[in-house]
């Protein structure tokens, strides 16, 4: 099973639209996949599901189960203030440790409204994942100026973006 993580809790996010698109790419290739949408995180999870409360929040545990089921993960990562969203870091911090996503493989897709396509966000997340023992696919995808190329219905209008996502999906399946 491949779990696609929509890496923000922002409602109707671009990350979620791209997660849906990636789900379709994997389905076209016969792969089983599911979406872990951080918009489903309980609002109080940082106080009710982490640290001394680990394992005690049923809604949070449902999302943790999606990560635990994954053999591979795809992180769709918007750039927030030159890094990845804090809610994604808090979710990762709430995964079982050691363990959690250790030994898994991950593909990373960065997106930004600016010209770097989430480069710094992907670098920071790569460091965190490698520390946790999660192997990162070298073919990281960056999607700059995403506002210009992603429609409200989730259609990517830039052929190059479509191509690099398709190539990454194929690499991920062989990874």
- How far apart CA 2 and CA 13 sit, in angstroms, is 20
State residue 52's pLDDT score.
77
What is the CB neighbour count within 10 angstroms for residue 99? Answer: 11
Kindly tell me the sign of the dihedral angle through the C-alpha atoms of 24, 28, 31, 32.
positive
Q: Are 34 and 66 in contact (CB under 8 A)?
A: yes
In which residue are the tokens 């696609």 written?
Answer: 4
Pair of tokens at residue 105: 């493989």
State residue 104's pLDDT score.
95
Which parts of the chain register pLDDT below 50?
A: none
Q: What is the DSSP string of 41-57?
A: S-TTHHHHTSGGGTT--
State residue 122's pLDDT score.
97
Structural domain of 126: 2-174
Structurally, how many domains does the chain consist of? 1
Alpha helices in the chain (DSSP H): 14-28, 45-48, 58-69, 86-94, 119-131, 146-149, 159-174
Q: pLDDT digit string (tens) for 95-145?
A: 887 778 999 999 999 999 999 999 999 999 999 999 999 999 999 999 999
State residue 147's pLDDT score.
93
C-alpha distances (whole Å) from 76 to each of 43, 51, 56, 165 are: 21, 26, 27, 11
Find the CATH number of the domain harbouring 38. Answer: 3.40.50.360
Q: Are 42 and 60 in contact (CB under 8 A)?
A: yes
């Amino acid at each position: 099973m491949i779990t696609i993580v929509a890496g923000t809790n922002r409602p109707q996010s671009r990350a979620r639209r791209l997660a849906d698109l990636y789900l379709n790419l994997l389905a076209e290739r016969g792969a089983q996949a599911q979406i872990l949408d951080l918009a489903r995180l309980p609002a109080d999870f940082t106080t009710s599901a982490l640290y001394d409360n680990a394992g005690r929040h049923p809604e949070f545990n449902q999302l943790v189960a999606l990560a635990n089921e994954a053999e591979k993960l795809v992180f769709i990562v918007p750039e927030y203030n030159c890094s990845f969203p804090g809610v994604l870091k808090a979710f990762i911090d709430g995964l079982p440790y050691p363990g959690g996503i250790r030994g898994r493989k991950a593909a990373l897709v960065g997106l930004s409204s600016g010209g770097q396509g989430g480069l710094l966000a992907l670098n920071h997340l790569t460091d965190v994942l490698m520390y946790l023992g999660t192997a990162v696919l070298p073919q990281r995808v960056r999607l700059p100026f995403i506002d210009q190329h992603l429609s409200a219905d989730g259609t990517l209008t830039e052929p190059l973006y479509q191509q690099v996502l398709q190539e990454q999906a194929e690499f991920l399946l062989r990874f």
